[in-house]
Structure 1
Amino acid sequence: MLQRAQVRITRRLEGELLIAHDLPLASYDVLLQLAEAPRRRLRMNDLADRVLLSRSGLTRLVDRLQRDGLVTREACADDARGLFAVLTDLGADRLAEATPTYLRGVKGEFADPLEPGELARLRTMLAKLA
């Protein structure tokens, strides 16, 4: 049941982001993780740990985001093989445009169907699981 709810909500959020902003949910997640990181950048390995993608899937996604000018890559000064993904100003603008759509979708698909007491209990349960 949990998986069905997650798939239904994810599909609706994805659809809304694609229609309104031409931005897949996975791309939104990467932009959000970078926006919340210090100096708007994360090592690729750390970013992969924060998003629900394989390392190779993340590499392909960051390639697309870089082509679109939303993310850049920077070499890591203390690790010749390490790379940072860095949110650009254009990426931050795109995230800011898409966030109201995302939040509206989460509210409509996740929060609105629940009673206030149910929502409070769910927050407590999710905090324990996280």
Structure 2
Amino acid sequence: MLRSQVAVWRLLQADDVWGSVGVHEYDVLHTLHRRADGRARIRDLHREVLLSQPSLSRLVERMAEDGLVARDADPDDRRGTVVVLTEDGDRARRRVGARHAESIRRVVGASLDERELRALRLLCDKLRAGTAG
């Protein structure tokens, strides 16, 4: 499972879809977009993205400087930070997301037919739900 994931991930990372928004930035933008209010605390983002907490904090700082996200004080924890998806960030997410989705279809679709893709989606959802903590 890990070798398959690494092989697919390397192909997706190497694909020329990212532009000025890299893989990790897109991961943060997409994660924020999936939330109803487009907001998340850093510690909650950390549970969902593929970065260490210090790396994520530095990335969010750069993304805020670029206008892709805003950083607000956490109303429930004065020490915490809430990351907010901005309009510019959402535009970047849509632009990159469309190209990334096509890249996924091309890379994964080359190996799996529609029935296998549906089964993979179902199994991935089941694994994610079973390991959510």
TM-score by length of 2: 0.86
Task: Sort the Cα spacing of 1:8 and 1:22 in 2 relative to 1 into closer, same or farther, 3 A.
Answer: farther
| Residue identity (%) | 35
How far apart in 2 are the matches of 1:119 and 1:45?
Answer: 32
Structure with bigger helix share is: 1
SS of residue matched to 1:95: helix
How big is each residue's C-alpha offset from its partner over 1:54-84, in whole Å with a ceiling of 9 and x where there is no partner? 1111101111211211011000122111110
How big is each residue's C-alpha offset from its partner over 1:78-101, in whole Å with a ceiling of 9 and x where there is no partner? 211111011111000111111111
Which letter maps to 1:61?
Answer: L
SS of residue matched to 1:4: helix
Kindly report which structure 2 residues correspond to 1:44-59, keeping only aligned pairs within 5 A, or say none: 44-59=42-57
Give the C-alpha shift of residue 46 in structure 1.
Answer: 0.4
What residue in structure 2 maps to residue 17 of structure 1? 17
Q: Does 1:4 align with 2:6?
A: no
SS of residue matched to 1:85: strand
Q: Which runs of 4+ in 1 moved over 4 A?
A: none
What residue in structure 2 maps to residue 115 of structure 1? 113
What residue in structure 1 maps to residue 88 of structure 2? 90
Which letter maps to 2:74?
Answer: C
Instruction: Give ranges in structure 2 of 5+ residues lacking alignment.
Output: 129-133
SS of residue matched to 1:17: coil
Which letter maps to 1:6?
Answer: Q
How many residues align structurally? 127
